[in-house]
Structure 1
Amino acid sequence: MPTGFTHTTAIPLFYRVDGHGDPLLLLHGGPGAHHDYLYPQMLALADRHRVVTYDQRGGGRSKTDDPAPITWQTQVADLAQVLAELGVAPPGAGGATVVGYSWGALLAMLYALQATMDATLPPVARLVLISPAPISRAWRDEFETTLAVRGRSDAIRAMRDTLTASGLRDSDPAAFRQRSFELSVAGYFADPARATALTPFRVTGKVQQSVWQSLGDFDLRQSLRAVRVPTLVIHGRQDPIPLASATAAAEALGGECVVLEACGHVPYVERPDELFRTIERFLTATA
């Protein structure tokens, strides 16, 4: 598993490469998070592809002391340099295959939109958008309200009570921290009981806030119509992010939207077989 730090970006960004075959770039969620939490499950992509991923600026091992705000434009500029430096969009290949999850899917759309307007940027050949973050401020507000309500559900409250009564805090602090993390994200799942065996992660709040603020009162439904590359959108029926946002993204991009039943925001845990089968079908058909 080659790892390293980029040298063409404004600050060094940590990256890793897994597998062999046609390259694709995997973008993690956040913003302000890091790539680790997508693994080991998303390593299934490395069975047939050379998967390149990196910690986006301000998160994970790509943290910075630079006081300048990190914006969506910052992340797009970094992404362009990563594509060029790490050979994900080799000359003559027609562009890069970008697989984005959650915020990473929105970042992929923002980058593809910029690349259609700036011929100096490495082009995008295909987009795979998994559980994409909302493409408008209104849908983001709806998502935040839904997630907050789910976090107060009877099922999650009961699991928290069970953890408190378990004695793990004293007997096994590491196990207690692990379970506490899982319960903190259980509202993202169609069945909160499925929130187990997850890789913990942290979000750098300052980065998350500055990126979302930079988007302002955004609505990408019309601007995304300028992007015309093969696109696959995959979204869970029970994702707290509104399904209407995902279907609108697919419609604007002229792409396909696959809805996974009994699935929330984390299909690589909730519906991995169906998720990876759908992705491989799309990549084979658009090769």
Structure 2
Amino acid sequence: MYPGELIPVGDVSLHVRRLGEPVPGRPPLVVLHGGPSWDHSYLLPGLVPLARSGEVIAFDMRGCGRSTRDLPAERYQPDLVVEDTLRLIDALGHDTVDLLGFSTGGQVAQLFVEAHPARVRRLVLASTTAYGDVSEHLADWPEYERRTATVTDPPADCTDLQWTVHDARSGAVTAIWDLGRVDDYLRLLDGVRFTGDWLAPWRRGLLRPWRPADPARTLREWGGPVLILHGEQDMGFPLPLAERLRDAVPGSVLAVIPAAGHMAHFENPALWAGHVAVFLGPRRSQARLADLG
């Protein structure tokens, strides 16, 4: 339904999917998925409605989905994903883009802004963090403790791919807030092309930082518009982390999806996409701020 293409970008080729149509005077929205050993398809519940208002470019990072796989361990680095993204933007003929990073991809987006500030017009940080003290905000959260008590460990002899799949599926109870939709969420995961390529360098301690040393300072010095988009009940990166970043970056906007967890784009795609569309500016559709509810 949404065909993709392989685009060479240096030492790898990226599987790219383009949704929607360009809007005159507005750059496309480039999307960085999370995981990282997932593909971009789990974001489609939010990206498809978003594409009704403009062009969206999603792709699988190196080692993910249908992009180049089985690289040497040292070729899996967050900063290399940044350079892949820059080469992709160049290959598609764009001087500037709007950038959306989800979860781990949101941290890569902060690295991108640090390395190539002139190439980004607007930045969306969705279900992500600029800070490392995540566990402090999960401590003494009774509902989080209740849910994680049901999460099982993967088999000791599993492959990296099996570990990734098990982690994603068993973690469904903390990924979304509405437990009545777990089966729907698992069906979404059935369509994800998981890999285990990023696990080996992570276990060996080879990965360089996923985000800048001082993300808030990076965003302040960049000075562009920032939308921080977060589920009210996010158990991956709890809401206080998003509120802290909002307070640290003057002019940033925090939009909270009520009664939604880490996968807020799945639990309330219309509201999620609506916030992004309004933030990006004039668009083809006639939706109003009031339509966001």
* Residue equivalent to 2:111: 110
Partner of 1:166: none
Question: Which residue of the other structure, out of 58, 62, 67, is the alignment partner of 2:67?
Answer: 62
1:266 pairs with 2:263: yes
Report the counterpart of residue 209 of structure 1 in structure 2: 202
Is contact 2:45-2:269 (8 Å) kept? no
Counterpart-to-counterpart distance in 2, 1:29 and 1:221:
20
The size of the alignment, in residue pairs, is: 256
TM-score under structure 2 length normalisation: 0.75
- 2:289 alignment partner in structure 1: none
Structure 1 residues 71 and 153, CA gap change in structure 2 (3 angstroms):
same
Q: Is the 8 A contact 2:82 2:111 kept in 1?
A: yes
Structure 2 segments unaligned to the other structure (5+ residues): 153-164, 285-293
Higher RCO, 1 or 2 (CA under 8 Å, sep at least 6)? 2
Could you tell me how far 1:257 is from its partner in structure 2?
Answer: 0.7
How far residue 142 of structure 1 moved from its aligned partner, in angstroms, is 4.1
The equivalent of 1:42 in structure 2 is: 47
- Of residues 147, 172, 175, the one that matches 1:153 is 147
Aligned residues with identical type, % of pairs: 27
Task: In structure 1, list runs of 5 or more residues that go unmatched.
Answer: 161-177
Q: Secondary structure at the match of 1:13?
A: strand
CA distance in 2, matches of 1:147, 1:65: 39
**Residues 29-53 of structure 1, C-alpha deviations (whole Å, 9 max, x = no match):** 1122211111244211111212111
Deviates more, 1:241-250 or 1:274-283: 241-250
Q: Which residue of 1 aligns with 2:79?
A: 73
**CA offset at residue 195 of structure 1?**
2.4
2:58 is matched with which residue?
Answer: 53
Deviation at 1:146, TM superposition (A): 8.3
The aligned amino acid for 2:176 is F
Residues 1-287 of structure 1 mapped to structure 2, 5 A cutoff: 1-22=2-23, 23-69=28-74, 70-87=76-93, 90-91=94-95, 95-116=96-117, 123-132=119-128, 134-139=129-134, 141-142=135-136, 150=144, 152-153=146-147, 157=150, 182-198=169-185, 199-200=188-189, 201=192, 202-204=194-196, 205-206=198-199, 209=202, 213-215=207-209, 218-240=213-235, 241-254=237-250, 255-284=252-281
Letter in 2 for 1:242: P
Partner secondary structure for residue 109 of structure 1: helix
Q: Over residues 97-133 of structure 1, what are the superposed CA-to-partner deviations in whole Å (9 max), with x where a residue is unaligned?
A: 11221111221111011113xx6xxx1001112111x
> What's the CA shift string for 1:14-39, capped at 9, x where partnerless?
11112212321122111222111112
Q: Is the contact made by 2:138 and 2:238 (CA closer than 8 Å) also made in structure 1?
A: no
Q: Which stretch has the larger CA shift, 47-56 or 60-69?
A: 60-69
In 2, Cα distance between equivalents of 1:57 and 1:230:
28
Would the alpha carbon gap of residues 151 and 244 (structure 1) be closer, same or farther in structure 2, given more than 3 Å must change?
closer
Partner letter of residue 248 of structure 1? R
What amino acid does structure 2 have at the position aligned with 1:228? G
Contact kept, 8 Å, 1:32 with 1:203, in 2: the verdict is: yes
